[in-house]
Structure 1
Amino acid sequence: MSRSARPLRARIHLDAIRHNYRRAQSLAPHSRALAVVKADAYGHGAVAVARALTGEADGFAVACVEEALELRESGIRGPMLLLEGVFSPDEIALVDRAGLAMVVHCREQLDWVLAARPSRRLDCWIKLDTGMHRLGFCPSEFAEVNARLAACPHVGERVAMTHFARADEPDHPYTSVQIDAFERALNGARIGRSLANSAAVLAWPQTHGDWTRPGIMLYGVSPFAGTGSNANLEAGELRPAMTLESALIAIRDLKAGEPIGYGGRFVCERPTRIGVAAIGYADGYPRQARDGTPIAVGGRPTRLIGRVSMDLITLDLTGLETARPGDPVELWGRTVPAAAVAEASDTIAYQLFTAIGRRVSRRYEEA
């Protein structure tokens, strides 16, 4: 994509990503950590993020073989796990050539692995459904599945894994239920263990096992709601990895009673100075963002007023009399937490990051 003159970009702070990965490692010092870079590294750019973590990360996790091959073709080496496994038996040849590990979560995948004729031994992660109820074998199936893979001469390392449904609620008992179901299924089996996502890395140290899988925490966002838990104190050590910024392109002065934008959702209660910034829902800014959603202009806090349109937003410049067209507007980043924007938009930071549109250029920065 050619460089655009439109003043809109996502600045990706590679030093922050390394810091956050090291934080995950420090919280689980006896575990290896797969950096989760699926969905284009949660919108941060998988190739650039993986390169920044090369030499630091114990390995990487992606959703599918296409994501893995992009990294391999960009020179990223080391362990790499397909979190959804393969979608057809033909993909096992790609797994073999690229030196990937794969999740096995169903009977079809198990049969494909056992019938394969790879040139090397295939590392397989056995996924158990302990209560998430998306993917995975029933816990009662583990012994059989593990035995069949163990007896297969072309299967290499085996790891048992599960995924938590409510680890981001540190006081909820459901995670303990899942942990118990996992351990009962393994019944002391000598096999690697991987349970912990970002929330579990922070809040459930008993789940750290042999491999952790930090995801959203790599990008500087707490997986927890609110600010009261010890886990959030730990998450406070994270550094935002993306600053999404635009600029003021117009300023208007409106009288009391004047509506702003589509549908006139916001009506000025007093004479109001408004700014217009070059970003909209086509760029990934959430259309459902409410009036009052935090924004910063020139590092000073203000708020969204009026409905988000395809290419533009309007914001309150009351108290920012020195603001001028061209001044930087931070949508989220080091001044405006992405989690605060997500909360004001009835969504989560994961969706904000992964919804960034193709018109937003990325700029990669070190400290």
Structure 2
Amino acid sequence: MSRRPVAQINLAALQHNLQRVRELAPNSQVLAVLKANAYGHGLVRVAQALTEADAFAVARIDEALALRTAGIVKPIVLLEGFYEAAELPVLLANNLQTVVHNELQLNALEQTSLDGQLKVWLKIDTGMHRLGIEPTQFSAFYRRLWQCSAVLPGIRLMTHFCCADELDSTRTDAQLSLFEQLISGKAEQRSLANSAAILAWPASHAEWVRPGLILHGISPFSAQVGQQHQLQPVMRLSSRLIALRQVQRGERVGYGGQWQADKATTLGVIAVGYGDGYPRHARNGTPVWLNGREVGLAGRVSMDMITVDLGPDAQDKLGDEAVLWGPELAIERIAVASGTIPYELLCNITPRVDYQYL
């Protein structure tokens, strides 16, 4: 029996979710986003499983090179682009595509001397105000990229939505409208839709969609879970019951004594904590799946352990498996109970957790 929490990664569920993206955006190619260690699921193993994706996207060059070193040959796009001109020969040698989102990058491309040409995606800031050129810069950037000898003909045009996960927001429509106005008359392929837009904004699908979170079976909408969109959870995080304790009515539990028993009950101690990536700020009552039922968190999350209220008639035994999130218990619920988002929970899993690929 493992003494470590276990993250089981269901690769069949991952492939199902990619097919679901195909169903939602049947006329689009899929740029599968694998940044941040594939949202905590394992960069290389996820890429190896997504054989039907058209291309991969990562944030930084080290992630792209890790994929190439592992033998991944599909197109790879650097979403943050390159940071300095010295990286350009590395991009060319490894057949990496780059996003261009500022003047320094454009100048570097114009001034470089390469033995080949790079595929470029031009990012326009239509309202996110994070990365991307200003709308007023688009015409000049577009012209200069077409004239640049280091750039392959046929640049791609992209933007990023800031509020696609807010279904009642008008900002996504406004961003989509601005983008279409700017590129009117241009024949280049486009990419706008992230996970939320794939689900909720079909007018944004264009030639390329960029699924990230939904590939892992998770909804980007705070009030929904992935199963509502016919997605399957990919990660199942579990651990074991390592202690049982009887407490009487009125006794307090854990650091600070923030949880108090309202009746005599049995407590269970589970071997997982914030040192493994379980959210430290999970509230009392946050659900854990144990022996076919939900039990609630009792007291503060510790570095290595959590405590749950098993109830006065508990029949649970030492060594029983406890599921922190997975098919039995949606990670979206744990995120809400912890005052965070599923992205953070996934990305915070630490090396102490044992990954198993199914």
Aligned counterparts of 1:320 and 1:158: Cα–Cα separation in 2: 65
Distance, in Å, in 1 between the alignment partners of 2:278 and 2:10 is 20
Is residue 311 from structure 1 mapped to residue 304 from structure 2 by the alignment?
yes
- CA–CA separation in structure 1 for the residues paired with 2:5 and 2:122: 43
Which residue is equivalent to 1:269? 262
Q: Distance in 2 between matches of 1:68 and 1:252?
A: 49
Letter in structure 2 aligned against 1:30: N
After TM superposition, the structure 1 = structure 2 runs for residues 42-121 of structure 1, keeping only pairs within 5 Å, are: 42-54=39-51, 56-121=52-117
Matched, 1:330 2:323: yes
Q: Is the 8 A contact 2:244 2:268 kept in 1?
A: yes
2:139 pairs with 1:146: no
Once the 2 structures are TM-superposed, how far is the Cα of residue 154 of structure 1 from its aligned partner? 2.6
Shift of 1:293: 0.5
Match of 1:297 among 272, 290, 304: 290
How many Å separate the matches in 2 of 1:320 and 1:326? Answer: 18
1:184 match: secondary structure: helix
SS of the residue 1:195 aligns to:
strand
Aligned to 2:223: 226
**TM-score (norm. length: structure 2):** 0.97
Distance in 1, matches of 2:347 and 2:286, equals 19
Counterpart amino acid of residue 159 in structure 1: R
Letter in 1 for 2:158: M
Larger deviation, residues 312-321 vs 335-344: 312-321
Q: Which residue of 1 aligns with 2:213?
A: 216
Q: Bigger CA drift: 39-48 or 119-128?
A: 119-128
Residues 364 and 319 from structure 1, CA distance in 2 versus in 1: closer, same or farther, beyond 3 angstroms? farther
CA deviation profile, 1:147-206 (whole Å, cap 9, x unmatched) = 111112331131110000000112211001101111111122111100000000000011
The whole-number CA distance in structure 2 between the counterparts of 1:326 and 1:87 is 49
Shift of 1:237: 0.4
Q: Tell whether 2:168 aligns with 1:168.
A: no
2:16 and 2:112 map into 1 onto residues whose CA distance is 40
Whichever residue aligns with residue 260 of structure 2, its letter is V
% identical equivalent positions: 46
C-alpha deviation, 1:233, in angstroms: 8.4
Cα distance change, pair 276–120 in 1 and its aligned pair in 2 (3 A):
same
Provide the secondary structure at the position in 1 that maps to 2:138: helix
SS at match of 2:155: strand
Q: How many residues align?
A: 357
The CA deviation string for residues 227-265 of structure 1, in whole angstroms up to 9 with x for no partner, is 4xxxx7885300001000000000011001111100001
- Does the residue aligned with 1:282 lie in a helix, a strand or coil? coil
Contact 2:222 2:336 in 1 (8 A): no
Return the letter of the residue paired with 1:51.
Q
Deviation (angstroms), 1:25: 1.3
Distance 1:108 1:184 in 2: 25
Partner Cα distance (2:109, 2:195) in 1? 29
Counterpart of 1:363 in structure 2 is 356
Q: Is the 1:243–1:330 contact (alpha carbons within 8 Å) kept by the matching residues of 2?
A: yes
Distance 1:277 1:139 in 2: 53
Aligned with 1:40: secondary structure?
helix
Contact 1:23 1:238 in 2 (8 A): yes
Show CA shifts across 1:47-98 (max 9, x none).
Answer: 00000012x0101000010000000000011111000001111111111111
| Distance apart, 1:119 and its partner CA | 2.5
Distance 1:202 1:282 in 2: 34
Greater Cα shift, 210-219 or 299-308 = 299-308
**How far does residue 5 in structure 1 lie from its aligned partner after superposition?**
4.4
Q: Distance in 2 between matches of 1:338 and 1:44?
A: 14
Quick one: distance in 2 between partners of 1:320 and 1:65? 55
Separation in structure 1 between the aligned mates of residue 9 and residue 2 of structure 2, nearest angstrom: 19
Q: Superposition RMSD on alpha carbons, in Å?
A: 1.4
Matched to 2:352, the amino acid is R
1:198 is matched with which residue?
Answer: 195
Distance 1:181 1:163, change over 3 A: same
From the superposition, tell whether residues 125 and 234 of structure 1 become closer, same or farther in structure 2 (CA, over 3 Å).
farther
CA contact (8 A) 2:4 2:354 kept: no
**Which contiguous aligned blocks of 4+ residues in structure 1 show a shift greater than 6 angstroms?**
none
Matches of 1:233 and 1:353, distance apart in 2: 15
The answer for unaligned runs of 5 or more in structure 2 is none
AA matched with 2:232: R
Separation in 1, partners of 2:355, 2:304? 18
- Aligned with 1:183: secondary structure? helix
> Contact 1:299–1:330 (CA<8 Å) still a contact in 2?
no
The structure-2 alpha-carbon separation of the partners of 1:208 and 1:168, relative to structure 1 and needing over 3 Å to count, comes to same
Which residues in structure 2 correspond to 1:125-144 (within 5 Å)? 125-144=121-140
Instruction: State the SS of the aligned residue for 2:314.
Output: coil
Matches within 5 A, 1:5-20: 5-20=2-17
